[in-house]
Amino acid sequence: MPGKRATKDTRRAQILRAGYRVAARVGLDQLTVRLVATQARLSTGLVHFYFKTKERLLTALLSDVLKTTPVLRITPDISRIKSPVTRLRSLLQREIIALSTEPRRIRLFFEYLVKGFRDPLIRTKMQAEFRRYREAIRPTAEAVLASDPERFPNVSATGLAAVAVGVIEGGAVQAMIDPKNFDVDEYMTAAKGLLEQSGKSAR
């Protein structure tokens, strides 16, 4: 029995790897069970046996994509930065650069985001992923607010973390769509200027 279980898990993983390659090449809407089967060198019947429908295959593929997405970590070089605001900016810049080096994964992520408007299950998974990302940034956001509460009046750590996620994801999308005209350093300098100006205006 254990041997059969391992064989099933291996076959399932093989299909998901093929699904990722196909989705990255043609997009989610153009993905078909036949294309995935061809990529995996399996029969369409076998793919249907494991996933039943294209929709179930896409849902499983999303889980696999999210599972293999690196979790945001505060590395030692960033944690040593004394200024919480500078620490947050450095974290955002690093994340934008990291995400922009994976254009296929980012493209799939946002294709799933669009699908989530129509599919409740996909929407739930995407909401959980954004929650996970916000929670990873939250401690840094809390430090920023504690160090300079007047800079962000009436802003919670959750709210600041949400804006940070928006900056990261927005930068990554631009880097993916228009890499020749997107400069991460310039993007972060502009964001810094906007935040500083906002802080001065609030006073």
- Rounded to a whole number of angstroms, the distance between the first and last alpha carbons of the chain is 69
Alpha-carbon radius of gyration of the chain = 20
Return the higher-pLDDT residue of 73 and 181. Answer: 181
Band of pLDDT at residue 71, cut at 50, 70 and 90: low
**Residue 89 pLDDT > 70:** yes
Q: Which CATH superfamily is domain 2-58 in?
A: Homeodomain-like (1.10.10.60)
The architecture in CATH of the region 76-202 reads Orthogonal Bundle (1.10)
Quote the pTM value: 0.73
The domain segmentation of the chain, as residue ranges, is 2-58, 76-202
pLDDT in tens, 142-181: 999 999 888 888 999 999 999 998 888 888 888 878 888 8
Please give the full DSSP string across 143-174, using - where no structure is assigned. HHHHH-TTTSTT--HHHHHHHHHHHHHHHHHH
Q: Do domains 2-58 and 76-202 have the same CATH topology?
A: no
